[in-house]
């Protein structure tokens, strides 16, 4: 099975109530989802 690293994963976004949230989808589709929320000043790479 090929492994996708976070640096290779495409950035995606969703618009909720006028605010855009960026995310990356990694890992096996059959695995339990894990959502990590960064502090407000964070970016996807830091």
Condensed to tens digits (0 to 9), the pLDDT of residues 27-38 reads 888 989 888 777
What angle is formed at CA 44 by the lines to CA 21 and CA 39, rounded to 5 degrees?
75
pLDDT at 1 over 60: no
Q: Is the Cβ–Cβ distance between 23 and 9 less than 8 Å?
A: no
pLDDT at 17 over 90: yes
Helix (H) or strand (E) holding 23: strand 19-23
User: What is residue 29's predicted lDDT score, i.e. its pLDDT?
Assistant: 84
Question: Where does residue 40 fall: left (phi above 0), alpha (psi -120 to 50 degrees), or beta otherwise?
Answer: alpha
User: What is residue 7's predicted lDDT score, i.e. its pLDDT?
Assistant: 76
pLDDT at 19 over 80: yes
Q: Which residues contact 23 (CB under 8 A, 6 or more apart)?
A: 11, 12, 13, 14, 44
Q: What is the mean pLDDT of residues 4-10?
A: 77
């Amino acid at each position: 099975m090929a492994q996708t690293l976070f640096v290779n994963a495409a950035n995606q976004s969703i618009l909720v109530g006028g605010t855009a949230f960026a995310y990356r989808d990694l890992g096996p589709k059959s695995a339990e989802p894990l959502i990590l929320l960064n502090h407000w000043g964070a970016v996807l790479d830091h």
